[in-house]
Amino acid sequence: MNGNQGKVVKVSGPLVVASGLTGARMYEMVRVGEANLFGEIVEIKGDDYSIQVYEETEGIGPGQPVVRTGEPLSVELGPGLIRSIYDGVQRPLDALAKDFGDYIVRGAERPALDRSKKWDFKPVAKVGDRVSAGDVLGTVKESSLVVHRIMVPPGKSGIVKRINPVNGNVDTEIAVIDGADGPFSVTMVQKWPVREPRPVARKLPPDKPMTTGQRVIDMFFPMTKGGTACVPGPFGSGKTVVQHQLAKWADAQIVVYVGCGERGNEMTDVLLEFPHLKDPASGEPLMERTVLIANTSNMPVAAREASVFTGIALAEYFRDMGYSVALMADSTSRWAEAMREISGRLEEMPGEEGYPAYLGSRIASFYERSGNVICLGSDGRGGALSIVGAVSPPGGDLSEPVVQATLRVVKVFWGLDDKLAFSRHFPAINWLTSYSLYQEVVDHGVDLTLEGKWSVNRKRAMTILQREAELEELVRLVGIDSLAHDDRLLMQAAKMIREDFLHQNAFDDRDTYTSLPKQYRLLNTILFYYDEARKALREGVPLDALLKLDVLDDIARAKLIPEDTPEQFAALEKKIADTTRAAAIMR
């Protein structure tokens, strides 16, 4: 027996239980009630089908119809994704605003890809070519930064029977392929179930740095293309700013930004700002490489649970084209809370703090969808998908389940510290507790281009910072005056590393992004001062004189030196050498 239509039995918030859906599968989409709300089957017990509903369930009651769709929750993939803003289940928010007004009303629906938009398809494959999944059939210029590759969908192959340049919407046929079961038509759009990872030919360990223009990250806790990172921190510590900074300045070709259960204004901020910011590599507006998913905190929680998967499915699709993609999820804690809420309503046995027992495995399987890969397709192209997840632990307590489950899988930990945030040291990434397991990989790459001194300088700087922390303990007990002079000089160097290098104002046009060569020079300048001053100290120059040199102000402003003027750093180093020497002669 096959039940295409069942009935609501129970409603409890976002969870609806229905009966009479015999044959329905886990994660199949259904339409619920007279209001025709979207939902997804998340549990089957006998004839009870539990459904998480993506829209507010007020007005739904027992007896109302539930209709199967036969399909799992899927995304539409094709030209038109770039520059879009979607909700958690890929409804286009711009189209909804246009047609339904300023509020998201129930049952509102519009296709994810705008059918009124026409695209120019240029074939790459030729008639007679033998093609299989992932092979590029042709391209569409999607935005000034993105050439959209139309690929043979996963699981398909055959011989190209017909292919022509066309101009049309995404539903337009671009090719016909003779497959094993006869000819099939290919359009510019394909569908993919969000909970299923898209296949790749091979996964490789990440081996290239993903630069971010953020000094503390690139220098001390670097990220890779295809890597995973998390940013935990209490409220107001700067998670969202870090995520926005990466979305702006990371050297990824595509950015998918998932606002998961956070503020509406933060998405608006991105929407209004990105079209005016220029990608440092190409000079094109950043929006030209960006896709936004917005499930704000006041939107239904079930859609929040789905939003992370929606985002990653889109990201994988661009990775499959051979791009390096970066996905930011702010915040994965809200995603976990959505799971907790649904799990609670399902009356599942709770694990830690009420989270479901499968929390850890869900988080792990999400981050595992990242990677540096060889894509499907006979050209053997590579692609990469990096994931950066914010985590919002209650009270900033890192021992809570979401942080702990995340730390078990991610390779980079940028720990935000509210003490640093209070003292307005931003980004408030704690340099003593954070780590990156990609350090060696990145050093290896960057050292080749920067005189081999990148990693040497970094290690020295970190040693200085660690020593500072020890000395600070001492100072708290006995006061600064009782420290030896070279220790006080080290404290000065550490302070300069903190204030003049690590501190980076995201909202200052000149400071918001720093290239690797400039990062190197900036740190090198500080270390150069330290070396010169130590020499002078040994030669008997009084410490106070070295701590009061005018050139210290110049060093403090060095972060604002324009990108393409290395000569200014050379001049600064000369000034440092001159003034310390002058101080030595003075005495």
Interacting residues with ligand ATP (CB under 6 A): 233, 235-241, 262, 392, 426-427, 504-507
Query: Which residues neighbour 37 within 8 Å (Cβ) at sequence distance 6 or greater?
Result: 31, 53, 54, 55, 57, 60, 106, 107
Which residue is it, tokens 């110049």? Answer: 554
413 three-state secondary structure: strand
CB nearer ligand ATP, residue 167 or residue 298: 298
Residues that bind other proteins (CB under 8 A): 9-13, 17, 34, 56-64, 85, 93-94, 96-97, 101-106, 234-236, 259, 261, 263-265, 267-269, 271-272, 294, 296-299, 301, 334, 337, 340-341, 344, 350, 353-354, 392, 394-397, 422-424, 476, 478-481, 507, 553, 556
Torsion angle in degrees (nearest 10) through CA of 182, 187, 189, 192: 0
For the chain, what's the residue count? 587
CB nearer Mg ion, residue 240 or residue 514: 240
Q: How far is the CB of 416 from ligand ATP (least distance, A)?
A: 6
The dihedral region occupied by 524, where left means phi > 0, alpha psi between -120 and 50, and beta the remainder, is alpha
* Residue 171 CA: distances (Å) to CA of 115, 381, 578: 8, 26, 69
Residue 96 interacts, among other proteins, ligand ATP, Mg ion, none and using kind-specific CB cut-offs from 5 to 8 Å, with: other proteins
Q: How far is the CB of 572 from ligand ATP (least distance, A)?
A: 24
Which residue is it, tokens 């209490």? Answer: 234
Residue 426 interacts, among other proteins, ligand ATP, Mg ion, none and using kind-specific CB cut-offs from 5 to 8 Å, with: ligand ATP
Of 161, 158, 165, whose CA–CA distance to 140 is shortest? 165
Cα gap 233→416, rounded to integer Å: 5
CB nearer other proteins, residue 136 or residue 302: 302
CB nearer ligand ATP, residue 404 or residue 505: 505
Cα gap 93→84, rounded to integer Å: 8
Residue 506 interacts, among Mg ion, ligand ATP, other proteins, none and using kind-specific CB cut-offs from 5 to 8 Å, with: ligand ATP
The residue number with the shortest CB distance to Mg ion is 240
Q: How far is the CB of 244 from Mg ion (least distance, A)?
A: 9
Q: From residue 228 to residue 247, what is the string marking binding to Mg ion with x (rule CB under 5 A)?
A: -----------xx-------
Radius of gyration of the chain (CA): 27
CB nearer ligand ATP, residue 15 or residue 502: 502
Q: How far is the CB of 392 from other proteins (least distance, A)?
A: 6
Q: How many residues bind Mg ion (CB under 5 A)?
A: 2
> How many CA within 13 A on the CB side of residue 423?
11
Cα gap 274→192, rounded to integer Å: 28
In 298-358, where does DSSP find H-type helix?
301-320, 332-345
10 Å Cβ neighbour count for 105? 11
Q: How far is the CB of 507 from ligand ATP (least distance, A)?
A: 5
Residue 148 interacts, among ligand ATP, other proteins, Mg ion, none and using kind-specific CB cut-offs from 5 to 8 Å, with: none
Q: Which residues pair with 138 in a beta bridge?
A: 123, 150
Q: How far is the CB of 11 from ligand ATP (least distance, A)?
A: 32
Pair 513, 286: CB distance under 8 Å: no
Residue 353 interacts, among other proteins, Mg ion, ligand ATP, none and using kind-specific CB cut-offs from 5 to 8 Å, with: other proteins
Q: Which two tokens stand for residue 446?
A: 């960057």
Q: How far is the CB of 243 from Mg ion (least distance, A)?
A: 8
Q: DSSP code of 220?
A: I
Cα first-last separation, the chain: 99
Q: How far is the CB of 503 from ligand ATP (least distance, A)?
A: 8
Residue 544 interacts, among Mg ion, ligand ATP, other proteins, none and using kind-specific CB cut-offs from 5 to 8 Å, with: none
CB nearer ligand ATP, residue 103 or residue 507: 507
Of 168, 102, 99, 182, whose CA–CA distance to 140 is shortest? 168
Q: How far is the CB of 392 from ligand ATP (least distance, A)?
A: 5
Q: How far is the CB of 489 from ligand ATP (least distance, A)?
A: 28
CB nearer ligand ATP, residue 89 or residue 429: 429
Contact set with Mg ion (CB under 5 A):
239-240
